[in-house]
Chain A
Amino acid sequence: EAGVAQSPRYKIIEKRQSVAFWCNPISGHATLYWYQQILGQGPKLLIQFQNNGVVDDSQLPKDRFSAERLKGVDSTLKIQPAKLEDSAVYLCASSHRAALTDEQFFGPGTRLTVL
């Protein structure tokens, strides 16, 4: 089966600019996650969707970050405006259900550099 797809793979922008990342999860997976992975740290959950509803966005900086999952399939994560500290790899993952026992399948990530 096809894995989790993400684009772009790399993005360089200047601070205060906007950027958007796209994720296509594994077909049939109801749960989609966006993580931020800063260099030297583990993935930090930004937002979790169950179908097209938000399950957890407690760590999403809502003043600048937004995410949507239209029709419960693809998802887009946006940053507007970007700050230097947003430089990180943004990982998208999906799982069959929202169960804590489920394996998460990760995409290759988008590496964002904010100058």
Chain B
Amino acid sequence: NAGVMQNPRHLVRRRGQEARLRCSPMKGHSHVYWYRQLPEEGLKFMVYLQKENIIDESGMPKERFSAEFPKEGPSILRIQQVVRGDSAAYFCASSRTSGTYNEQFFGPGTRLTVL
């Protein structure tokens, strides 16, 4: 059973370009979460999605960031017009359910570097 997959593992963008990060959840998991880990900081929640629905986006910056989890295909975290402050590791997690036994499994992350 393959784990959570993320690609690319490393992504380099110049300021002003767009970054697209992909996440394929574990088989049988319909809940997807995105977290960001800035240098010297802890992981911070960004957004929680189920298929075709955004459940909670309270951690997403108001501008330039968007996320989707379509009926078919991976979840996408999109960052438009990237700035140097967007450089971070972005982790995706998935779970089978929500509730008290909501064990989240994490992917290897995408390390975004903005030049």
Asked if A and B bind, the verdict is no
A interface vs B, CB < 8 Å? none
